[in-house]
Amino acid sequence: MRQLQGMDASFVALETKNSPMHIGSILIYNPATAPGGFVRFKDILNFFESRLQLSKTVRQRLVRVPFDLDYPYWIEDPDFDLEYHVRHVALPKPGDWRQLCIQAARIFARPLDLTRPPWEFTVVEGLDGIEGLPKGCFAMVTKVHHAAIDGMSGIDLMEAMHTLDPNEPPPSKPDTWKPEKIPNPAELLGKSYFNALTNPMKQLQVAAKAAPGIAKAIKGLAAKEFNVSGEMIAPKTRFNKVISAHRVVEGRSVPLADIKAIRQLVDGSKVNDVFLAIIGGALRKYLKSKNDLPDKTLTAMAPISVRSKDEKGDMGNQVAAMIAPLGTHIEDPVERLAFVHSRTMNSKAMTDAIGARNMTEVSKVSPALYMSLGAQLYTRLGLANRMGPPFTTVVTNVPGPPVPIYSTGARLESMMGLVCLTDGMGLAHVVQSYTDEATIAFTGCRELMPDPEFYAQCIEESFEELRDAAKGGRPAAKAPSTPAKVSKAAKTASTKDKTGTKPAATRSKTKPAAKRAASNRKSIT
């Protein structure tokens, strides 16, 4: 039995019927590489069953302390049933991309049963109408509670359910798993009493560790070392309200090589800066079309993993946060990228000064009852409709495998991330890489974003503007006066086409995740 800590427990406390706290993916597979060229649902069950011992997550469930007086505990579920967690549905004809997104949104909107191991995989057949995919492909919509998993431990779960070779035999490692007895309320209350006695000492230890970093951050602010300004406070948008129980999901896939080429527009910029600038441009286009674009820049919370190499296989979350302005007030895409890069460097410096690891440790000693009551009151009083947001949206970057992987012998063609929402944050993004593609996906509240296809188009156009600037397809504007500098690639681009018109050769469109992945690869037969 192992107790949840800080951030893991906060995801349980935040759970409401409108805000289920799970994350997941839409994974699309081509069975052409599987034995016989097809995969049955029974084959998937057998494959998963043979690999359960490779993951610490799949057979553990939560046990909550009475009255939420302390953090919940993980135990090995004595009633584990694989067929409850792996489900099977099919799309009606024609089985196109939009139908898959609608089905995934419906599945993802439903809360997990927290009296069982908090995960579900739904196999979706009938993807016969998605351009670029051969008939017979299937998808898996995955859901795993955020208390059990973050981006890095999620990779370990992916590794447990996939192989590097389509014909890889079952693991030889014996399954030594044993179920545990569910503790009774008296046992749980006894443990909570002990923790209540020791928690004040833990709080003092964390405060002592954090004090030097906080002092350094305050000193830096006074000296304007970090160049932090009012841009770090987000203006309120239509997405920063109380959310409903309904979801929309969509996404676009782009060549990873194009993202790396765009980096060259601004010296020192990172791949993550490029994604932030693309999303900033998309939000600008979307909100401007609604006559709802704030004058100040919108901001994103970008999770930072502080998980060490030794913790790679552990359950739970080891993340801190960085607040990154998105440059939505800047029309020119290259100037926006330079702005984003300069501000993310400032935010990263602030996070380093305080100590990302210390930020996670602070949450581990926060009283569980207060966390739960605070989260519930925030929702019940509708405070998200009255208070300004600390940030506009979330943009989390999850690196995927650089080589093809397989499940039940079927090749993974594309992966698109899904993420939880809370009151005050009705739109969130997941950026994910896999082999030669990168996907920019979003999860939104259906009431706050009723037109996800249009926002996906905005992402597409924002990417194309930066891609064309990198290729010299249109003038690249001069970057703003920030620590970042426009590179030679941007200056060269500005001299190639004074008209601002895209040459015909640069008008190739991005595609929904599955389409781009399939069209970029040779047939797998």
> Catalytic residue among 146, 162, 341, 429, which?
146
377 to 65, 136, 372, 374: CA distances (angstroms) = 20, 48, 9, 5
Q: Which of 307, 6, 15 is nearest to 153 (CA)?
A: 307
Alpha-carbon span 375 to 354, nearest angstrom = 25
| Radius of gyration (C-alpha) of the chain in whole angstroms | 23
List, in order, residues 6 or more apart from 61 with CB less than 8 Å away.
74, 75, 77, 114, 115, 116, 117, 118
List, in order, residues 6 or more apart from 182 with CB less than 8 Å away.
63, 75, 78
| Burial status of residue 171 (CB atoms within 10 A of its CB: 0-12, 13-18, 19 or more) | middle
- Record the tokens describing residue 70, joined without a space: 């302390």
Residue 383's Cβ-side half-sphere holds a number of Cα atoms within 13 Å equal to: 12
For tokens 């070392």, the residue is 225
Alpha-carbon span 33 to 179, nearest angstrom = 36
Phi-psi region of 313 (alpha: psi -120 to 50; beta: other; left: phi over 0): alpha
146 annotated active-site = yes
Q: Which of 323, 332, 360 is nearest to 226 (CA)?
A: 323
Contact assessment for residue 260 and residue 471, using Cβ atoms and an 8 Å cutoff: no
- Record the tokens describing residue 289, joined without a space: 């079309």
Catalytic residue numbers, as ranges = 146
